[in-house]
Amino acid sequence: MLLLTGEYQHVIDDKSRVFISNKLRSQIDVDEHGSSFYLVLGANGVLCLYPEKYFERIVEAVAPETSAADEAVSFERMSFALASKVELDSQGRLLINERLRSRAGLSTQITLVGVRDHIEVWNSENWEQYVEDHMAQYQKQMAQARKAVLQQEGLEI
């Protein structure tokens, strides 16, 4: 099971490369999930980095659920056209091509965010705004989740 966590400040260098933190990379079992990644423009225009074997499972799982033939074709076009198989260089850097960088609205200051099964690449200002906008909702959800777990264990808060 993948459980990628944390937020890490980085810079996209003048050659459009970004260092992927060792703390993030060490959370990925290479034997289970592969050593390469897929760079994908995901939900809400956020650039996502999926371990290769995990992304392949996602694509296989979603395609059969698509009901209409034209939706299946559209899903395949978008899934594969907007995804790039990438490898980190020997220093743990990832090259982000200019088109994806532009589509994701990335400047040089970025934040890498572990989100369970993938890494999101955010423009740092946008990430900070997202955190600010969603903090109250998150705190409420975390309190509810903790309460539910404690109740399952027969404990009360």
- Is 2 part of a structural domain of the chain? no
Report the candidate in 121, 40, 116 with the shortest Cα–Cα distance to residue 85: 40
Q: What is the pLDDT of residue 157?
A: 61
- Is 114 part of a structural domain of the chain? yes
The residues of the chain scoring below 70 in pLDDT are 63-67, 156-157
Q: What is the pLDDT of residue 75?
A: 78
> Reduced to 3 states, what is the DSSP secondary structure of residue 40?
strand
Q: What is the pLDDT of residue 42?
A: 86
State which residues form the domain around 69: 7-124
Core vs surface per residue 125-138: b (16+ CB within 10 A) or e = ebbeebeeeeeeee
**Inter-residue contact 124 to 11 (CB < 8 Å):** no
Look up the CATH number of the domain holding residue 80: 3.40.1550.20
- Is 144 part of a structural domain of the chain? no
Q: What is the pLDDT of residue 74?
A: 83
Integer Cα distance of 50 and 34 in angstroms: 10
Q: What is the pLDDT of residue 43?
A: 80
The total domain count for the chain is 1
Q: What is the pLDDT of residue 61?
A: 80
- Is 149 part of a structural domain of the chain? no
